[in-house]
């Protein structure tokens, strides 16, 4: 088995980017500080200049992983890029009769090779496909505690869903970033007075100012929820909910909002969207619109909030 560290050649910005191989040590920096998450990502994604080498084990010329010989080599990332769209190729990879390659997406849009104009057919570049499938890299959030080793072509999908991805504290003026557990400890330690405890699978009565942009709710497992209140609508307030965390939390929670005013009652149910920072576009496409009359004479919104946690 071959383990690769992938080194990007001079790109359009004139910089070089290095990715560590899975056999290279990474620092473990899961401390609670403002740069913990981003520093972990930077360390894992751009650490050092990597040399082509074989790692010996027991005095040999290579190492063995599961009975297979393992070496570490350095390659130019340009080799893995589609020459048309410049995206990293993953199987299937196609080639013309002269061996010019293209990704499956571009191949489906073209009839002829971009280099030699020969017809593009169903010929696969199996050798390069094996190379791409052989490249394994550590998660860029290894410094936050993630020990996953993923295929290079799957790194972006893993990065978006990784539970160790850095999330940002929602409190204004606080620059803390960290994984979901780190953020939970940070919030309970420094900002507990800024939120309300949220019991799952039961109703919670809340009263908030009709101009308050959001209210933090802390789940029993430490996950932070933001009850969003958009008061810019001329006919009332648009209220919705998101949680702070990676995309893997999407679909894990659902919520219900209920409000009453006199004999009138409005109710809304939806899935909880996941965001990693408060300044992302926060208003989901679905929300509860509370007419102006629901704010009352005191300018406050009274809501019954319920959040259901689905079994993973």
Query: How high is the pLDDT of residue 69?
Result: 67
The Cα–Cα gap between 167 and 165 comes to 6
pLDDT at 156: 83
Per-residue model confidence (pLDDT) at position 161: 84
For residues 133-167, one letter each, b for 16 or more C-beta atoms within 10 angstroms of the residue's C-beta and e for the rest, the string is eebbbbbbbbbbbbeeebebeebeebbeebbbbbb
Q: pLDDT at position 11, please?
A: 43
Q: Give me the pLDDT at residue 28, please.
A: 38
What is the tens place of the pLDDT at every residue in 52-64? 333 333 343 444 4
- What is the spatial distance between Cα 133 and Cα 156, in angstroms, rounded to a whole number? 15
- Give the pair of three-digit tokens for residue 296: 């009352």
Instruction: Provide the whole-model pTM.
Output: 0.62
Pick out the chain residues at pLDDT < 50.
Answer: 1-64
Backbone torsions φ then ψ of 249, nearest 5 degrees: -80, -10
Domains, the chain, ordered by start: 2-161 (no CATH), 167-309 (2.60.210.10)
């Amino acid at each position: 088995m071959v383990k690769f560290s992938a080194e990007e050649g001079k790109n359009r910005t004139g910089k070089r980017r290095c990715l560590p191989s899975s056999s290279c040590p990474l620092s473990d920096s899961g401390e609670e500080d403002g740069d913990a998450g981003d520093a972990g990502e930077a360390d894992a994604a751009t650490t050092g200049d990597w040399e082509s080498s074989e790692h010996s084990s027991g005095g040999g010329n290579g190492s063995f992983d599961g009975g297979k010989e393992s070496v570490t080599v350095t390659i130019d990332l340009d080799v893995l890029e589609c020459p048309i769209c410049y995206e990293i190729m993953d199987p299937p990879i196609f080639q013309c009769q002269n061996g010019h390659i293209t990704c499956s997406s571009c191949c489906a849009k073209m009839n002829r090779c971009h280099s030699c104009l020969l017809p593009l057919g169903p010929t696969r570049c199996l050798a390069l496909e094996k190379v791409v499938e052989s490249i394994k890299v550590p998660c860029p959030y290894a410094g936050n505690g993630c020990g996953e080793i993923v295929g290079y072509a799957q790194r972006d999908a893993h990065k978006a869903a990784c539970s160790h991805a850095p999330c940002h504290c929602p409190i204004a003026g606080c620059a803390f970033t960290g994984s979901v557990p780190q953020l939970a400890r940070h919030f309970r330690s420094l900002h507990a007075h800024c939120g309300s405890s949220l019991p799952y699978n039961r109703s919670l009565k809340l009263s908030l100012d009709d101009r308050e942009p959001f209210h933090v709710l802390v789940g029993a497992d430490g996950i932070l929820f933001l009850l969003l209140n958009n008061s810019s609508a001329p006919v009332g307030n648009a209220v919705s909910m998101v949680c702070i965390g990676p995309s893997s939390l999407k679909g894990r929670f659902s919520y219900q909002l209920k409000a009453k005013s006199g004999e009138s009652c409005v109710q809304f149910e939806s899935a909880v969207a996941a965001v990693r920072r408060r300044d992302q576009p926060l208003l989901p496409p679905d929300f509860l619109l509370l007419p102006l009359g629901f704010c009352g004479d005191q300018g406050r919104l009274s809501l019954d909030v319920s959040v259901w946690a689905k079994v993973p």
